[in-house]
Amino acid sequence: MLRVGLTGGIGAGKSTVANRLAEHGAVLVDSDRIAREVVEPGTEGLEQLVAGFGAEILAADGSLDRPALAAKAFADDDSRHRLNAIVHPLVGARTGELMAAARPDAIIVHDIPLLVENGLATAYHLVVVVDAPVEVRVRRLVSARGMAEADARARIRAQASTEQRRAVADVWLDNGGAEDAVLAEVDALWADRLVPFEANVRLRRPRPPMAPKIAGYDLTWPAQAERVLARVRAAAGPLARRADHIGSTAVPGLPAKNILDLQLTVSTMDDADALGELLADAGFPRLAGDWADDAQDGDGLWPKRMHVSADPKRPVNLHVRAEETPAWRLALLFRDYLRANPDERDDYRDVKLRLAEAHAADPGFEAYADEKQEWVNGVFARAEKWAAATGWTP
Ligand code: ADP
């Protein structure tokens, strides 16, 4: 099962995208519709609202008079909290029920306008944001939905900003142009990413190993890593001591394979094992078999658990290590040393580019990894001197 969070500002095109995904076979969970359903006549929700705000919030036919409720509920913070305390748990429970009822191989698309505002990004395997320029959205809301312009602008202003949405977006769908264009992107997203991602999560199947193709440094790597780290922390819960972006993509200016290396710190390897299934459910199956070749550090002296991303479009190596072990410390030292010493970083760049070219045709990539490790081992001694001189700690 795969959980996709779909969000975007009002009028951006969430429903348009959600409907297309549903045509492909996604199970749609629509939070606006759930919010209406839980306060329909005859529901416990409507009864609680009447108890909290009085019978004046009912229309003559016994249904909820939304403007009347809004006048009372948005009058002050207390009232707003009272409204949320009634509605949020009911919406949450119903959402949970619908998700639990989906088949084990479902791709669930949760259409949730307030995903960003409510800080829910880490609950999904993937967050998809639909966006369009404000003026385009206003035009659509006025012409297609008959909203008053001032109302449309006020609604847009009250929502999260484009920057806030960008920070959580794994997929950014620009719907500022023709509808056909965004629908074509949605079709590709479904076929190339969501379908294989779902199968990988369900079958605990890592994406296949990647050739050592070195890409130029990508300025968005830190933000991408932060998004994945937030998900890892949420999945690991209290067993996570910390989680860090490590490896080449964590060193500004260093070209690297487009694989994010992350280190999840736990207290003991028993904790690492206890996390195995939780991480797999969250989209990071544990690596076993052929290419788990570096499941041990330091010739097996310092065990680690290797998990990798099941997302075919966002390669991640997640190294789960126990706190204060030598390999754990070295991962952080290596990163910080290269960040602080551009000459070493550039040396490393040259070594990587040379080795990648020399071993491009090598099917297992082991020779590339082994020879690179020789350079890395050499740098450790210099990094340790630097750590002693500067008082560096992990
Ligand atoms: P949301 O669910 O994000 O509020 P909708 O999907 O309902 O947005 O889109 C808002 C309105 O704009 C709808 O009437 C929809 O048909 C229309 N619309 C969506 N995408 C486009 C597009 N690319 N070009 C023109 N109109 C669009």
* Atom in ligand 1 nearest the alpha carbon of residue 18: 6
DSSP 99-117: HHTS-TT-EEEEE-TTTTT
The number of CA neighbours under 13 Å toward the Cβ of 161 is: 3
pLDDT digits (tens, 9 = 90+) for 113-158: 999 999 999 999 999 999 999 999 999 999 988 999 999 999 999 8
State the Cα–Cα distance between residues 208 and 285, nearest whole angstrom. 12
The residue contributing the CA closest to ligand 1 atom 19 is 13
Q: Is 52 buried (19+), middle (13-18) or exposed (0-12) by CB count in 10 A?
A: middle
Cα torsion through 185, 191, 197, 202, rounded to 10 = 140
27's enclosing H/E stretch is: strand 27-30
Cβ(180) to ligand 1 under 6 A? no
What pLDDT sits at residue 357? 84
Residue 391: predicted pLDDT: 97
Determine the distance separating the centroid of ligand 1 and the alpha carbon of 12, expressed in angstroms: 6
Closest ligand 1 atom number to CA of residue 175: 23
176 phi/psi in degrees, rounded to 5:
-85, -15
Q: Amino acid identity of 51? A: A
Give the helix ranges, DSSP H, for the chain.
Answer: 14-24, 31-37, 44-53, 66-73, 77-100, 134-145, 149-158, 162-168, 179-189, 195-202, 221-236, 269-274, 276-281, 326-340, 342-358, 366-390
The CATH H-level (homologous superfamily) assignment of domain 2-202 is: P-loop containing nucleotide triphosphate hydrolases (3.40.50.300)
What's the pLDDT score for residue 340?
A: 97
Q: Which of 14, 140, 162, 175 to mutate to test the pocket of ligand 1 (most atoms within 8 A of CB)?
A: 140
End-to-end CA distance of the chain: 37
3-state SS, 290-339, equals CCCCCCEECCCCEECEEEECCCCCCCEEEEEEECCCHHHHHHHHHHHHHH
Q: For residue 202, how far is its CA from the centre of ligand 1 (angstroms)?
A: 33
Q: How far is Cα 297 from Cα 377, in angstroms, rounded to an integer? A: 12
**Pocket lining: 18 vs ligand 1, CB cutoff 6 Å:** no
DSSP state of 363: T
**Class of 221-390 per CATH?**
alpha beta
- Rounded to whole angstroms, the Cα distance separating 341 from 111 reads 46
255 lines ligand 1 (CB under 6 A): no
Is the beta carbon of 279 within 6 A of some atom in ligand 1? no
According to the model, what pLDDT value does residue 212 have?
67
0.85 exceeded by pTM: yes
Q: H or E element: which one contains 6?
A: strand 2-8
Contact 86, 50 (CB under 8 A): no
Sole residue written with tokens 């995208």: 17
Domain residue ranges of the chain, discontinuous segments joined by +: 2-202, 221-390
- Collapsing DSSP to helix, strand or coil, 172 comes out as strand
19 CB within 6 A, ligand 1: no
Q: Tell me the C-alpha distance between 149 and 143, whole Å.
A: 10
Residue located nearest, by CA, to atom 27 of ligand 1? 179
pLDDT (0 to 100) of residue 302 = 75
Contact 8, 131 (CB under 8 A): yes
What pLDDT score does 65 carry?
A: 95
Measured by CA distance, the residue closest to atom 6 of ligand 1 is 13
| C-beta 193 within 6 A of ligand 1 | no
pLDDT digits (tens, 9 = 90+) for 150-187: 999 999 998 999 999 999 999 999 999 999 999 999 99
For ligand 1, atom 14: residue with the closest CA: 144
Q: From 7, 15, 141, 155, give the residue whose CB has the most ligand 1 atoms within 8 Å, as the site to mutate.
A: 15
- Ligand 1 atom closest to the CA of 16, numbered from 1: 6
State whether the beta carbon of 14 lies less than 6 angstroms from ligand 1.
yes
Nearest to 109 by CA among 185, 27, 231, 7: 27
Answer whether 182 contacts ligand 1 (Cβ < 6 A): yes
Quick check: CB of 38 below 6 Å from ligand 1?
Answer: no
Please tell me the residue having the least CA distance from ligand 1 atom 10: 11
* Residues of the chain below pLDDT 70: 211-212, 289-301, 363-365
Q: Is 206 in the pocket of ligand 1 (CB under 6 A)?
A: no
Query: Rounded CA gap, 318 and 245, in Å?
Result: 9
Q: How far is the CA of 16 from the centre of ligand 1 (A)?
A: 6
Asked if residue 12 has its Cβ within 6 Å of ligand 1, the reply is: yes
Tell which atom from ligand 1 comes closest to the C-alpha of 9. 3
